[in-house]
Structure 1
Amino acid sequence: MRQALLIIDVQPGFDPPQWLVEGIGRLIGTMPSVATVERHDESVTPFRRQLGWVPAPDDDSLIAADQVHVKHGYGPPPETLAYLKRLKPERVLVCGIQTDTCVLAAGFALFDAGLMPTLVSDLTVGSSLDRSGELGVRLWRHHFRHVVTSRELGLADPRTA
């Protein structure tokens, strides 16, 4: 199966657990990959004005993906979607930070672009509302159906490996 990997916002400012970074790292090199990093630009996305919080202005991805794209806001930038569409994958595996917000937004963007978003449920961490990510997994299943685990991809459970 032709697959691609989309890694959402695994960057120092969001303090990802080491098991998440290492688990996603095991997928690098097995398929084409692209990572997003959230950076702050108030003129693009009103984080400070609306939420009273801002992401770092200069974070870099902690994952050595084939490509890294900067984003401002919840969804992936247009160049990320264009890159993935050029690959013509049968499915796009999605993992990363904030299962119930940014990861879910990526799922909607992929779906709307005609791609098949597939969540790697044990390679995500939820937002401060639900750090377990279970809310996001349930929403993903409801909207997109396709959810897999590391074990189903032939990898060890990232939390115990």
Structure 2
Amino acid sequence: MRQVLLVIDVQPSFSPPDWLVEGIRLLLGTMPSVATVERHDESRTPFQRQLGWSPAPDDDSLITADQIFIKHGYAPTPETIAHLKALAPERVLVCGIQTETCVLAAGFALFDAGLQPTLITDLTVGSSLDRSGQLGIDLWRHHFGHLVSSREL
């Protein structure tokens, strides 16, 4: 099966647990990989004004993916989606930080682009609202249906 790994916002601002970073690194090299990094630019996304918090303006990915895309806000950029579509995968495996927000936003963008988003359930961490990620996993199952664990890959 042709698949691509999409890693969402595994960067210092979000304090990812070591097990998440190591688990994702084990998948690198087994398929094409893309990572996103969320950077703060208040003129583009009003994190500070609306939430009183923002990611760093200069964060970098903790994952050495084949391709890294910078984004401002929750969803992947159109360039990220275009790159993934050009790889023509049968499914896009998604993992990373904030299962019920940024990861879910990636799922919607992938779905709307005609791709098959598939969540790697044991390689995702929720926001401070639900660090377990279970809320995001449940929402993913409801909206997209496709879930796997890293052991199944």
Question: Superposed, which structure 2 residues align to 1:146-161 within 5 Å?
Answer: 146-153=146-153
State the distance in 1 between where 2:48 and 2:63 align.
Answer: 27
Q: Which amino acid aligns with 1:141?
A: R
- 1:79 Cα shift? 1.1
Correspondence for 2:14: 14
**Match in the other structure for 1:40:** 40
Q: 1:24 is aligned with what amino acid?
A: I
Query: What is the alpha-carbon root mean square deviation over aligned residues?
Result: 0.4
Question: Residue in 2 aligned with 1:140?
Answer: 140
Q: For residue 94 of structure 1, what is the amino acid of its counterpart? A: V
Structure 2 segments unaligned to the other structure (5+ residues): none
Identity, in percent, stands at: 80
SS at match of 1:31: coil
Query: What is the aligned partner in structure 2 of residue 158 from structure 1?
Result: none
Q: C-alpha distance in 2, partners of 1:41/1:25? A: 28
Which residue identity does 2:133 align to in structure 1?
G
- Pairs within 5 Å for 1:34-73: 34-73=34-73
Q: TM-score, normalised by structure 2?
A: 0.99
Name the counterpart of 1:157. Answer: none
1:78, distance to aligned residue in structure 2 (A): 1.1
User: Deviation at 1:128?
Assistant: 0.4
The separation in 2 between residues aligned to 1:63 and 1:83, in whole angstroms, is 18
Structure 1 runs not aligned, ≥5 long? 154-161
Moved over 2 A (4+): none
Q: In structure 1, what is the Cα distance between the partners aligned to 2:94 and 2:145?
A: 13
SS of 1:101's partner is helix
1:131 and 1:53 map into 2 onto residues whose CA distance is: 17
- Aligned counterpart, 1:99: 99
Q: For residues 49 and 108 of structure 2, what CA distance do their matches in structure 1 show?
A: 25
Question: TM-score, normalising length from structure 1?
Answer: 0.94
Deviations 1:17-70 (A, max 9, x none): 000000000110111111000000011101011111111010100000001110
